[in-house]
A and B are shown apart, each in its own frame.
Chain A
Amino acid sequence: ILGGRVARQGAWPWQCSLQSGQSGHVCGCVLIGTKWALTVAHCFEGREKAHLWKVLLGLHNLDHPGVHSQRRGVRAITVHPRYNRAVVDYDISVVELDSEVEETEWVRPVCLPGTNQIPTPDSYCYITGWGHMGNRMPFKLQEGQVRIISMSQCQSYFDMKTITARMLCAGYEAGTVDSCMGDSGGPLVCEELSGGRWTLFGLTSWGSVCFSKVLGPGVYSNVSHFTPWIHQQIFMRTYLPD
C-alpha cells in the first residue's frame, strides 16, 4: 500500500496471505467463509496447482506469525473461466482451504455484497495488504483509505485499457494512497452506513506502475459482479463434490 499506515493488530480479520514455497508472500487473499477465500486469478498464472500454496490467516507481521495466526493448505483453486490475462478482465478466483479455520476475533470472514450492489462513487473504503510501499516491502500489514471512483471517470485515466463492468476503481488521481505490487488479491472493503459490518467490494487487481510517476487510481475486481458465481462455486464444491 502506498501512502497508508500500519494497521492495528487484528483490525482486518479477513485479510490473509497467499504463500508459495520459497517465495513466501505472493498475493493477498480474503476470507469469505470458514473454508473459503477469494483472491485474483492472476496470482495463479503458471502455478495453478493447489498443493503449491498455503494460506496464512490472523497474520500481522509477515516475518513473525503470532499466536493468533492460523495456517491452512489449499484443497482447490477455481480460476474464473473467463479470466483474460491480456486485459486483466474477470480477475477472480475462489480458494478452498484444506480444512475449516477456527473463527476467532483475529480470523473472521468478511460479508459478500449482494449481486450488483456497488459502493457509491466518492464514498470512502479501505484497502489492506503487505504489498510494496514505494520504497520498500513492509513486514506489518498496511491499511489505506481510498475513494470510490465512478467508471466513466476511471476510464479517462486508463484510455489504453478498457475498464469493464467486472472492474471497480478506487484511489486518487494523484495516486497518494494506492495499492501496489504484492497487494493483489487483497480486499477493498466498505463499512455499512449503519456501521458495524464490513462488506468486500473489491479485490486488488491492477493499475499503473504504482511507484513510478505515472499515477492514477487502482483497479479492483468488482466482487458484486461475481457474487452469484462465487456462491455457485461454493455450492458445487460443498454439496456436489463429484
Chain B
Amino acid sequence: CASTSCDTRHHNCTGCEPISLELCMNLPYNHTRFPNFLGHVSQRESSVSWESSLFPALVQTGCYQYLMFYACTLLVPKCDPLSLSTVPPCRSLCRTAKEKCESVLGIVGLQWPDDSDCAQFPEEGGDSTCLLPEAGVDECSPSHFKCRSGRCVLASKRCDGLADCDDRSDEDHCGCTERSLWECPGSGVCIKTSMICDGIPDCPLLADEVNCSACGDNELACNNHKCVHRTLWCDGKKHCTDASDEWDCVSLTQSSGSILTVQRTADHYHVCADEWNQQLSKLTCDQLGLGVPASVSMVPEQGGPPGRRRWLHVHPEWEERKGSALQARLEKRSHSCHSGKRVALVCVRDKCGLRPAMDARLSRQKR
C-alpha cells in the first residue's frame, strides 16, 4: 500500500477514485472506493461482474423504480471525501429493491446476489450515514433509454425496429443521431460514421465522399481519397491502391460522332488515326464493356490551328504491351498528327441477353 494507514493485506489501499463504470455515471455522487459491497476490488472487476449484467437486465422489467440506483450503490459505492470511507445504501432501500425484484428473478430461475444481505446496511436516521434515492435521481442508467412510461430499456434497443417500451416510445423520433449514425446531407439516409470518406459512396449524390482529400496542385485524388501525381494518371499502371487512376480513362463522345477520347496525365486527348488498327478497336470496345466494334472511321479534326492539337499516337511497341488497357498502348506526342484525322468508333453489344429461338410448335400451338 502506498498509504501508511493501510494494513498489509492490500485491502482499502486506494482512496476515492472517480466513477468510470458507464452504468453508473449519472449518480448524485462522482467518487467511489473499493472493495465494493459485492466484493469486487476494482471498477474493472465490477464492470465485468455478473451483477453488472444482471441489474441492467432486471431494470427493464420495471420491478422497482430505483433499482438501478440501488445497484450502483453496491457496484460503485459512494466514497466520502472526508473520511475516505464508503457510504452504504440504507437498509430500507435494499429491502424494497429485494422485495420488489427478487421474485422477478425467481421466474427465470435466477437468484438475488448473495452479497447483498440487507442486514449489513444501516437504518436511515441512525448513527452512520446511508444512501436513499433523493428527488432527481435518474431511474435509468446512462446505458438505458427511459421510456415515456418511465420504464428503462437498454439503450441498444432504441430505434432497432422493435418496440421494447410498453408504450413503444423507444421507436419514436428515430433519426440518425438517435441511432448513433450520420445523416447524409440533404437526405434522410443514415450511414455509419466509419463509412464517411472510405471511398465507397453510400449517400445519395455521393455526399459522404466529398471534401475528403487534401491533394497538392500536381496531384489528383483517387477514389479512396489518396493522392497521386497527375502525370501518373491513366498511364496503364495502377498507382491508386484502388486502381481508380485507371478507371474511365477511355471514352467515346456521345455528342459528336463517337470520337475516341483518352485521358493521359489527367488531360483529354484525341487519338491520331495514322497507326490505328482493328485490334485496338476491339480492345477499346471490350474495355468499355460495350461489345464489339461495328464501325471505325477516321474523322478530320476541325477548328483551331493544327499545331495546338493534343494528340495521342499508338505506341510503336503496342503489340508487346499485351493484357494492358488501351491507355497503356498509346503514348503522348508533342508533334501533330500526320493525317490530321482522329479515331471515331462505334461499338455494339454482342449476343448478351439473347435466348435461343423458341420452337414454333411450342409457342404457337393452335387451340
Contact = CB atoms under 8 A, between A and B. Distances in A.
A115 to B, nearest CB: 12
B352 A240 contact: no
Given A13-B356, A197-B353, A197-B354, A240 B161 contact: no
A235 B327 CA distance: 13
Nearest to A234: B289
B138 to A, nearest CB: 31
Contacts of B349: 111, 197
Interface string A10-51: 111110000000000000000010000000000000000000
Nearest to A240: B238
B238 A108 contact: no
B19 interface: no
Interface string A194-213: 00111100000000000000
A159 B168 CA distance: 15
A13 B289 contact: no
Interface residues of chain A: helix, strand, loop or mixed (majority): loop
Contacts of A85: none
A235 B287 contact: yes
Contact of A10 (B287, B352, B356): B356
Interface in B20-39: none
Of the listed residues A12, A234, A236, the one surrounded by the most CB atoms of chain B closer than 10 A to its CB is: A236
A13 B236 CA distance: 34
B95 to A, nearest CB: 42
B287 A82 contact: no
B224 to A, nearest CB: 11
Nearest to B237: A240
B247 A232 contact: yes
Contacts of A231: 289
B186 interface: no
Interface residues of B, number: 25
B352 A239 contact: no
A100 interface: no
Contacts, number: 75
A239 B353 contact: no
Contacts of A32: 352
B108 interface: no
Contacts of A241: 323
B362 A8 contact: yes
Contacts of A13: 355-356
Interface string B150-192: 0000000000011000000000000000000000000000000
Nearest to B238: A240
Interface string A128-140: 0000000000000
22 contacts: A8-B359, A8-B362, A81-B200, A82-B202, A103-B351, A109-B352, A111-B352, A112-B289, A159-B161, A160-B162, A197-B352, A197-B353, A198-B353, A235-B246, A235-B287, A236-B246, A239-B236, A239-B246, A239-B323, A240-B243, A240-B246, A240-B325
Interface of B: 161-162, 200, 202, 236-238, 243, 246-247, 287, 289, 323-325, 328, 349, 351-356, 359, 362
Interface of A: 8, 10-14, 32, 81-82, 103, 105-106, 108-112, 159-162, 189, 192, 196-199, 231-232, 234-236, 238-242
